[in-house]
Structure 1
Amino acid sequence: MSTDKNTFKTINPATEETIATYNYASSDDAKKKVEDCHNAFLDWKLKPLEERAEILKSIGKTLEKHKESYAQLMTQEMGKLLSHSYQEIDLCISICEYTATEGLKQLQDQERSLFDGGKGTIHYSPIGVVYGIQPWNFPLYQPIRYSIASLMAGNGVLLKHAKNVTGCALKLKEIYEEAGLPKNLFQVLVINHSVSDDIIENQYVKGVTLTGSTPAGKHVAVKAAEVIKKTVLELGSNDAYIVLDDADISKAAKICANARIYNNGQTCIAAKRFIVVDSVYDEFKKEFVNIMQNMSYGDPTNNDNDLGPIARKDLREQLHNKVEESVENGAEILCGGKIPDTNGYYYPSTVLGNVTPGQPAYSQELFGPVASLIKAKDNTDAMRIANDSKFGLGGGIFSENEDKAMDLAKNYFDTGMIHINSYGLAYPNMPFGGVKNSGYGREHGGFGIKEFVNAKAITQA
């Protein structure tokens, strides 16, 4: 890290080498970009839906054109497996295509007959400039997720990305403009936190969306509320995956292991707590630990490795401290749990057993390839433990009785997204978001397109 507070470096977590050095923008420079974005919005909001949709499709095609270089950059900046970088770009291309098509349906005027015999029209009007504050774990997907929906709705977009993926943010702006998006309509703000608070208050900013930690979400929500601006928050979680007494244990163990280590375990909706009914606990534990302890870590560009590095050194230290604190409070290390003596911020796939209340592994989010194994008395107790969390983003249920699993998912599991006998990250045509301390608002599935619009009610006699 540079000693100059106005500059910072991006570091390759696999090699610990400096990638690039950047300067923070001044408050005045940031305000100018916001104003430029607003001015671009004034033209963009008048463009027909069909024209916006064509540019979104063009963005998808341009992402495909730059797929190799973007994938390499993502892996270099935050350490995800190169294969996962390719998958992330494919998902983003699908989001562009889906939003372009779905947006034409969602944003059409709606005609309604009024009770007094008059005519009513509902018109979805863009609200202005939307400010997005995004994390590093999915350097392309996170900004795509909110910006594509906002652009389709007719808004201007600002992006404050995590500083360790600044290169990815700037490259996205280049791709947007190469694809035909009007200049200045999408702006990248390389700013510190104090300037970010000023941006929330800026007169041209009409909405704020953040993906990040719960404390960050609270801070942004308060700042936005003080100036009466809507927010959408997607925050952390410690997702529970429940293995019931009638589950296919072999299948469950394989899916759970992959769900824990995907993206080097640094995913908000990764499987984190594995709640297993007592009657099948020992069988699951044996198979699950065997899979996890054989996960290899190393160079993320090598297809033979299962894990790349943790994105930053300080994040690895935070993860390891939570593991050690859990062990000090009664948890046991079933595999992994030690920082390797090697170059790069690697951390091995780890399983903690005897996880109980009072341990970070039980109640907090462990952002890395660390699994918390929790024993439940029976199926009812498993659901109780799953819901015993301040978070509620995602979760999973393993049972061969799909009707029972569906009933639990619909009526008892207190979380935003649930996978039955499977694991998934995000689907363009399904809503994405959580409840409780995992935030509010929805993205994808057509829902995100209307988060930042003014649903105007226009009536005629």
Structure 2
Amino acid sequence: MTSSPRTSRPATARLAYRSVNPATGEVMAEFPTATDDEIRRALSAADEAFRAWRRRPIEERAVVVARVGHLFEERSEELAAIVTAEMGKPIAEARDEVAFCAEIFGYFAEQGPALAADQEITASGGGRAVIQRRPVGVLLGIMPWNYPYYQVARFAAPNLVAGNTIVLKHAESCPRSALALQQLMDDAGIPAGAYLNVFASHEAVADIIADPRVAGVSLTGSERAGAKVAEIAGRNLKKVVLELGGSDPYIVLDADDVVASAASAFATRMGNTGQACNSNKRMIVTAGIYDEFVAELTRQARALTPGDPAAGTPGTYGPLSSRAAAEGVAAQIRDAVAAGATLHAGGTLADGPGAYLAPAVLTGVTPAMAAYREELFGPVAVVYRVDSDEEALALANDTPYGLGGAVFSTDPARARKVAEELESGMANVNAAEAEGAGMPFGGVKRSGYGRELGPLGMDEFVNKRLLYVSD
């Protein structure tokens, strides 16, 4: 439903779905946005599929969903190569992303029936009361480019098991990844219409949300996109899950081996070339180890050279998702330095069409600078010096975001005391994150609301119905 001739609402160059290799600037494929007629047919097909899919026993749905996970494993190399070419993810990380998707689909296939089972509660005045979890209908997923498979997996897997059907609007920059997912779902036996990729325009998204056949929408993306989607959904009384930006604190209170601690922090920050919502964008380090910590970060950054993300050569870094993205982060760095911040390494753009930005280490960022409040979505380690645990906590919470956070110390009780006070949806002690299909993911404040993955991921788009049977 994404490549037929246009019959209405023409696609624009800005909204056309284009697959561009960010390492070279090469346009690999381009697709028009879906027409109004194509979208109407997609919604009708998803609604019709829901009527049958919801009636199949959840155990049967789980078997089909399990096959999706198996196909992720079987097609690992093919899928990884697509995402590396399309958004520049280093090939080893692309393989890891595919493997995580297999885990997610496997988790919900195995655990979903129990997570959605009837829950008996005490009935006042006798009788029997049960909370039932029933599917709600067609769901719209609006997904980003930074994890083209994983973001879809954590939305689609629990909801397909629950009995909902999916209309998926992927990012305009990763159409090949979107089509590979559609093929995988089809080959796994997801019924026709139960998972549908649609290359919808931004304008069409508003119409889809407003359509009475759509029961809810999940978006992972920017604050601006989240606010617009939530406004439209609210006007139409639709349930929303939002996973938006983040500026996660990464607090290091002390360390036996400062060099190793800094190297670990840098490796975490470089994951996906710094393009992760829950990356450690603000490193908060106590004064006693700060200088050595910054020196090691600087050494790590300077040691890297640009490389082909498909080659996986040690000691290299890949491109950002696009030249425009790299230019945007470079501009943020320049603005911070112009306002008085110190750039210890990197921050320079490579010549040519590639989206290479040298990994940067930035200190001296103050509340008067835009970089203090903004999310730096790229390979930039921003480091703050603090003199106490209390100062570290105050700085950590001085942000409009509240996705995740981590606290490190040789004394776990000390680290936990600080972590308990983080204003975030996820808090970690002596670990950058708690990654796993069973670990709920989501934030508070301007990082959004709702949860994905784990037991909570099964509960977002279900009707938690009370069934009461009187004596």
Q: Give the TM-score category using the shorter length.
A: over 0.9
| Residues 16 and 172 in structure 2, CA contact (< 8 A), matched pair in contact too | no
Query: How far apart, in 2, do the equivalents of 1:244 and 1:122 lie?
Result: 45
Q: Deviations over 1:390-440 (max 9, x none)?
A: 001111111000011122222x11111223233237311111001100001
Alignment partners' CA distance in 1, 2:18 and 2:132: 46
2:91 is equivalent to residue 82 of structure 1: yes
The structure 2 residue matched to 1:338, chosen from 338, 345, 348, is 348
1:431 to 1:3, Cα distance in 2 relative to 1, 3 A:
closer
1:273-310 Cα offsets, whole Å, 9 max, x none, are 11111122112111221112212321001221442101
Counterpart mapping for 1:217-236 below 5 A: 217-236=226-245
Secondary structure, counterpart of 1:454 in structure 2: strand
Secondary structure of the 1:142 match is helix
Residue 401 in structure 1 maps to residue 441 in structure 2: no
Deviation at 1:5, TM superposition (A): 6.1
- Alpha-carbon distance in 1 for matches of 2:24, 2:166: 34
- Alignment partner of 1:352: what SS? strand
Q: Could you tell me which residue of structure 2 aligns to residue 135 of structure 1?
A: 144
Give 3-state SS (helix, strand or coil) of 2:34's partner: coil
Equivalent residues of 2:159, 2:165 under 8 A apart: yes
Calculate percent identity across the aligned residue pairs. 37
2:20: which partner in 1?
A: 11
Give the Cα separation in 2 of the matches to 1:112 and 1:414: 32
| Secondary structure in 2 matching 1:208 | strand
CA distance in 2, matches of 1:447, 1:299: 38
For each residue in 1:62-111, what CA deviation from the matched residue of structure 2 results, as whole angstroms up to 9, or x when unmatched? 11111111110000100000000100011010001111122111111122
C-alpha displacement of 1:4: 4.7
**What do the CA deviations read for 1:196-242 (whole angstroms, capped 9, x no partner)?**
11001011100110000111111111110001111000000111111
Partner letter of residue 139 of structure 1?
Answer: P
Distance apart, 1:8 and its partner CA = 4.3
3-state SS, counterpart of residue 402 of structure 2: coil
For 1:308 and 1:450, the matched residues in 2 are separated by 37
Are the structure 2 counterparts of residues 49 and 434 from structure 1 closer, same or farther at C-alpha, using a change threshold of 3 Å? same
Establish whether residue 50 from structure 1 lines up as the match of residue 59 from structure 2: yes
| Distance in 2 separating the partners of 1:68 and 1:324 | 38
Change (3 A) 1:297 1:423: farther
The alpha-carbon deviation at position 245 of structure 1 amounts to: 3.7
TM-score of the pair, normalised by structure 1: 0.97
Residue 92 of structure 1 corresponds to: 101
Match of 1:426 in 2: 435
Structure 2 gap segments, 5+ residues each: 1-10
Contact kept? 1:248, 1:400, Cα under 8 Å: no
The aligned runs of 1:180-195 (5 Å cut-off) are 180-195=189-204
Q: Identify the residue that residue 310 of structure 1 maps to in structure 2.
A: 320
Q: Distance in 2 between matches of 1:425 and 1:68?
A: 26
- Does residue 258 (structure 1) correspond to residue 267 (structure 2)? The answer is yes
Structure 1: unaligned runs, 5 residues or longer: none
- Contact 2:344/2:362 (<8 A) preserved: yes
| Alignment of structure 1 residues 147-166 onto 2, 5 Å | 147-166=156-175
Q: Distance in 2 between matches of 1:265 and 1:4?
A: 28
Contact 2:17–2:199 (8 Å) recurs in 1: no
Deviates further, 352-361 or 132-141: 352-361
Using the size of structure 2 for normalisation, the TM-score is 0.95
* 354-363 or 190-199, which deviates more: 354-363
Match of 2:447 among 438, 446, 451: 438
Please state how far the C-alpha of 1:365 moved relative to its aligned partner. 0.5
Q: Give, as a single letter, the amino acid of the residue that structure 1 aligns with 2:229.
A: V
User: Structure 1 residue 374: deviation in Å?
Assistant: 1.0
In the superposition, relative to structure 1, how do residues 252 and 421 fare at CA in structure 2: closer, same or farther (>3 Å)? farther
CA distance in 2, matches of 1:110, 1:282: 54
Q: Structure 1 441/247 Cα, relative in aligned 2: closer, same or farther at 3 Å? A: farther
Which residue matches 1:249?
Answer: 258
1:386-397 alignment runs, 5 A limit: 386-397=396-407
Partner of 2:126: 117
Q: CA deviation at 1:6?
A: 7.0
Counterpart in the other structure of 1:367: 377
Contact 2:401 2:444 in 1 (8 A): yes
**C-alpha separation in 1, matches of 2:36 and 2:467:** 40
Q: Which residue of 2 aligns with 1:216?
A: 225
What is the aligned counterpart of 2:332 among 311, 316, 322?
A: 322
State the alpha-carbon separation in 1 of the partners of residues 263 and 225 from structure 2.
34
Contact 2:339 2:369 in 1 (8 A): yes
Does residue 378 of the first structure (1) align with residue 388 of the second (2)? yes
SS at match of 2:455: coil
- CA distance in structure 1 between the partners assigned to 2:304 and 2:256 by the alignment: 24
Shift of 1:112: 3.0
Which of 296, 309, 312 is the aligned partner of 1:287? Answer: 296
- CA distance in structure 1 between the partners assigned to 2:40 and 2:457 by the alignment: 26
Summarize the Cα distance change of 1:57–1:235 in structure 2 as closer, same or farther, 3 Å threshold. Answer: same
Matches of 1:381 and 1:6 in 2, distance apart? 45
Distance 2:240 2:325 in 1: 27
Q: How is 1:23-34 mapped onto 2 (pairs within 5 angstroms)?
A: 23-34=32-43
User: Are 1:350 and 2:360 matched, yes or no?
Assistant: yes
Q: Which residue of 2 aligns with 1:275?
A: 284
Match of 2:457 in 1: 448
Report the aligned-residue RMSD: 1.5
